[in-house]
Structure formats: structure tokens, C-alpha cells
Amino acid sequence: MCGILGIVAKSPANQLLYDGLLMLQHRGQDASGIVTAQGNTFHMHKGLGLVRDVFRTRNMRALAGNIGIGHVRYPTAGSANSSAEAQPFYVNSPFGIVLSHNGNLTNAEQLNQELFRTDLRHVNTNSDSEVLLNVLAHELQESTRNGQLDPATIFTAVAGVHKRCKGAYAVVAMIAGYGLLAFRDPFGIRPLVFGTAESELGDEYLIASESVALDTLGFKLIRDIQPGEAIFIDEDGNFYNKQCAPDASLNPCIFEYVYLARPDSVIDGISVYETRLNMGEHLAEKIRSTMHHLDIDVVIPIPDSSRPSALQLANSLGIDFREGFVKNRYVGRTFIMPGQQQRRKSVRQKLNAMGIEFRGKNVMLVDDSIVRGTTSREIVQMAREAGANKIYFASAAPPVRYPNVYGIDMPTRQELIATDRTTEEICNEIGADYLIFQDLDALNHAVSKVLPAVKSFETSCFNGNYITGDITSEYLQTLESQRNSNHSILQTKLNTQLDLSLVFSE
């Protein structure tokens, strides 16, 4: 669930891009990058780390031009610590294209072989996003055989991408000397919105993973890019759009509402904050009907993402809501950190219990989700150490039992705490006295209630129903064994079949 951003402005875009990426930092903490375009020249700076660490004043000065794209990365393919996989990616033919991708291709391996053998293109990293860029480049080359590039040929190329690429992708790309392109996969799994701002010289456009970037940069949200739709804004600010997939349907990832997105964002017309309040409301109903002895003294959220749900849950049950954990504001999100050791250590550094809220009390701890159980295991232990009497634990989402293949890094069942465990067993595993999960129907309802027109969600991590229809148990097994042997899909392929990659020193 990386963060992507694109801008067509009337004045230098570098600061807007930097500020916008800061607003999307919660979507990716491993690498960040910006490319601007000035005439036919791209200016690029990218590297490993947070936005504030990657960009120095001298880097910002070098990012000249009024249009540009940016990326913050949370890796799902390739490796986390490779600066070569930081985005945006660049290809020099046709025209010169740069691309930022949020999502994950499920047929990257097959595409990589096609690119190499048939399209005669070389992908030099293990990133599926570089594969995606090369597919787009090839399709653009095919659709502009007479050398004439216009919106119609660009949209034909995007239609070609939709035919070849499987999985989830929200994309912003720039074509040197032409303009900014953005599109979303035909299932609309990953989010992408755009908006405008008026300037004295005309309208400016901003495209972003989440509406929060528009709000803070002074842009007015126009709408979400539709599943399968592409929009193109040329360098003069002329706007074009087209539906490029014949059978598009909207199925936003429900985990965006549970955890990934900021609560102040609106995704596919649905306020993330409202869905989280609803999750708390529904969970409270389930608690009322299943916990017959309601002896909870206090409801305590696990900062940050569970706060709205916990607050609403407490209100609905009529129980005190207290901030029992203090969060260190300098430690980022632990779930999206690479490596279990770092995640576990960071939970301890990030959250500290306040004794007064726990001592002798029956506490109901509320989190948005339990995935690997890293947070809940540590938190329950902290609550015990702080002197809690009974520890009840509530998750605003159902148990995560299946791998995600659409842009969230949970590819193996072994790492999920709920795999092959009942609720009671999970409860024992995290050391709580009682554990309650939201039901999937209730979660669906909590989200769709905000905008009933959206009827379908991508919920595979909860029910194993993979909406794109191409995910077989063999695919998941291969993914698992590759992860277990510390090889990414593409790494294995590149080593065994092509063996041609260049490795640039860092």
C-alpha cells in the first residue's frame, strides 16, 4: 500500500510533491522518491528512508519543473532494502516514461518472461513495478507506431496494460514532453483520487492515493479515478479521461478502511473515519450480545489506528474511554516495517502503559486488527505488567487468515497468528483473558453503510476470496515457499532463468 502522487502545476512542483508525500508517509516508510519534468528532461531523486531523510535542500533545488510524480514505498515484491527498487522507475523508450505504483502484480513472473523474450525489454530489479512500467512502455510503443502520441494512443496503451497485467495497481506516470497519466486497475482495489486548485495561470491538478494529500495542499477533491479508467493531463493542463477496461467493477480493499488509510481520507466516496466509528459500534453490539458479564471498567485504544473504533465502542457500551498507552511520536507504524524482529522491538519503543489506567482494573483493549499478533502479544504483556486485573481484547476487524496478494505484505499463512487457530487459541497465544473479533458481515456493513452504492469490497485476507480470479492454491504455495526460502518471486526467476541482471552498486 505505497503512496503515490502526481502534480501538474503552473509553478514549480517540487515543494508540493514533498509536502504531499509527507501526507502519504503512513502508506510507506521504506523508500521515497520524486521525479519532476522540465520540458523533455526528467529530474529524479530517490532513496531508502522517510521523506524527511531522503530529500535535502540541494536535492529539492535540483527538482525543477512544474509537473512531477512521487512515491513512498512499502515493499510487497523484491526486497525492502534495495535502493534500486525505490520508485519512481524510469525507462527511456518510447519517449521517456517514469512511473509510481501502489499495489502488487500477481502475474509479474510471467510478464517478466514475456517482456524479456517477446518484447525484448530488460527489467533490472526484482520489483513488479518495474515490470508494470515496461509493460506500459511496450504498449505505448505499439499504440504509437506512427510516432504520434495523443490521448487516444495513450488510452489504447492503458487498455493493453489492463489486458496483460493481473493484480492490483494504482499508477501515476509521466511521459517526457507530454504530460501526466494516471490509472487504476479494473477491480479498483487500490485507491486513487484527483482534484484541482485554481491558480492565476489556470487550473492545477493533483492526483494522490488519499484525499488527505489534496486537503492539506489546498486542492479540491473532484472524484476517485474509476476502476479501469485512465486520466491524462497534458503539460498545458488540458484534461482527458477514458474508461479503458471493458468489464470494470469497484471492489476497494477493505483493509484500507480498517488500517491502511488515514482516518481523515475519503476513499471511493467513503469516509475512513466514519467506517472506523461504525466498526466500533458493531463491535460493541457483538460484545453486548456475547459477553454476558459486562465487567469492563475501562476501554483503552491501541494507538494510533484503533482510536475512532475504540472511542465509539466505549460510547456505545457506556464505559469510560481512557488513553492507557502513550505513543512515542518518533516511531512509525510497526506493521509496515520490514522484518519481525524490528516490528517487535518497535512496539515496545512505540507504546508505553500508564499504570494508573491499568492497576486493579478490568480493561478492554481495542485494536483495529490482529495480523501477526506482534502488537497484541506485547500490549497484553504490558497491561499485565502495569497491574491490570482482567484483560479483554477486541479487534475491529475479523481474524486475518489468508495471505494478501494485492499490495499488503502478508504473503504467508504461517506468519498470521490466526492461521489454524480458533479464537480461544489466539486468545491464549496473545495472553488475554478474553478475545473478541468483528464478524466479516459486520465489517462489510460498517463500511458500506457510509455509502450503500459501494457494494463489493476486496476482503481476501479475511475470507480467502480473491476477486481477480487468478489466484490458485498453487500460486499461494509458491509464494509461501519463495518467502520462506527468502527469495522473492522475481529473484527466483531472475536467478534461474534469465541470469542477466546488472547489479548497480549503491
Ligand X SMILES: NC(=O)CC[C@H](N)C(=O)O
Ligand Y SMILES: O=P(O)(O)OC[C@H]1O[C@H](OP(=O)(O)OP(=O)(O)O)[C@H](O)[C@@H]1O
| Beta carbons within 8 Å of 319's beta carbon, 6+ residues apart | 296, 297, 298, 299, 364
- C-alpha dist (Å) from residue 346 to 61, 126, 331, 333, 349: 34, 27, 7, 9, 5
Closest C-alpha among 251, 383, 364, 370 to residue 315:
364
From the CA atom positions of the chain, what is the Rg in Å?
23
Closest separation between CB of residue 168 and ligand X, Å? 8
SS3 assignment, position 361: coil
Q: Binding to ligand X by residue 1, rule CB under 6 A?
A: yes
- Closer of 304 and 480 to Mg ion (Cβ): 304
Amino acid at residue number 150: D
Is 367 a known ligand-binding residue?
A: yes
3-state secondary structure of 231: strand
Q: Using CB under 6 A, which of 14, 29, 76, 374 touches ligand X?
A: 76
Of 185 and 224, CB closest to ligand X: 185
Question: Interface with ligand X includes 261 (CB under 6 A)?
Answer: no
Find out whether 368 is annotated in a ligand binding site.
Answer: yes
Q: Is 103 an interacting residue with respect to ligand X (CB under 6 A)?
A: yes
Residue closer to ligand X by CB (options 76, 482) is: 76
Q: Does 101 bind ligand X (CB under 6 A)?
A: yes
Q: Which is nearer to Mg ion, 129 or 395 (CB)?
A: 395
- Residue 374 binding partner per list Mg ion, ligand Y, ligand X, none, with a CB distance cut-off of 5 to 8 Å that depends on partner kind: ligand Y
Residue with smaller CB distance to ligand Y, 285 or 429 = 429
Amino acid at site 49:
G
User: Which residue lies nearer to ligand X by CB, 102 or 275?
Assistant: 102
Q: Which residues are paired to 85 by β-bridges?
A: none
Closer by beta carbon to ligand Y, 235 or else 264? 264
**Which residue's beta carbon is nearest to the bound Mg ion?**
305
Say if residue 304 is preceded by a cis peptide, omega within 30 of 0. Answer: yes
Q: Which one of ligand X, Mg ion, ligand Y, none interacts with residue 166, CB within 5 to 8 A by kind?
A: none
Determine, following the binding rule CB under 5 A, whether residue 369 of this chain makes contact with Mg ion. Answer: no
Q: How far is the CB of 75 from ligand X (least distance, A)?
A: 4
* 3-class SS of residue 506: coil
What residues have CB less than 8 Å from 420, skipping those under 6 apart?
A: none
- Stated as kind and residue range, the H or E segment containing 135 is helix 128-143
Per the CB < 8 A criterion, the answer to whether 8 and 179 are in contact is yes
Binding site for ligand Y (CB under 6 A): 259, 302-305, 333-336, 367-376
Part in contact with ligand X (CB under 6 A); list of ranges 88-96, 101-109, 240-248, 410-418? 101-109
Min dist CB 165 to ligand X, Å, is 12
333 binds, among Mg ion, ligand Y, ligand X, none (CB under 5 to 8 A by kind): ligand Y
Smallest separation, CB 495 to Mg ion (Å): 36
Pick the binder of ligand X from 29, 36, 104, 112 (CB under 6 A): 104
**Residue 187 near residue 458 (C-beta atoms within 8 A):** yes
Please choose, from the candidates 169, 198, 197, 213, the residue with its C-alpha nearest in 3D space to the C-alpha of residue 76.
169
14 binds, among ligand Y, Mg ion, ligand X, none (CB under 5 to 8 A by kind): none
* 252 scored as a contact of ligand X (CB under 6 A): no
**Residue 448: Cβ within 10 Å count:** 18
Contact by Cβ (8 Å): 73, 2: yes
Q: Which of residues 291-320 bind Mg ion (CB under 5 A)?
A: 305
Query: Using the rule CB under 6 A, is 77 a contact of ligand X?
Result: yes
173 neighbors 134 (Cβ within 8 angstroms): no
The verdict on 104 binding Mg ion (CB under 5 A) reads no
Residue 169: helix, strand or coil by DSSP? strand
Are 267 and 257 contacting, i.e. CB atoms less than 8 angstroms apart?
A: yes
Quick check: is 427 catalytic? no
The reply to whether 441 sits in an annotated binding site is no
d(CA 222, CA 290): 43
Which spans of this chain sit near Mg ion (rule: CB under 5 A)? 305
Residues of the binding site: 305, 367-368
Residues of the binding site for Mg(2+): 305, 367-368
Which spans of this chain sit near ligand X (rule: CB under 6 A)? 1-2, 73-78, 85, 101-104, 127-129, 407
- Any idea which residues carry the catalytic annotation? 2
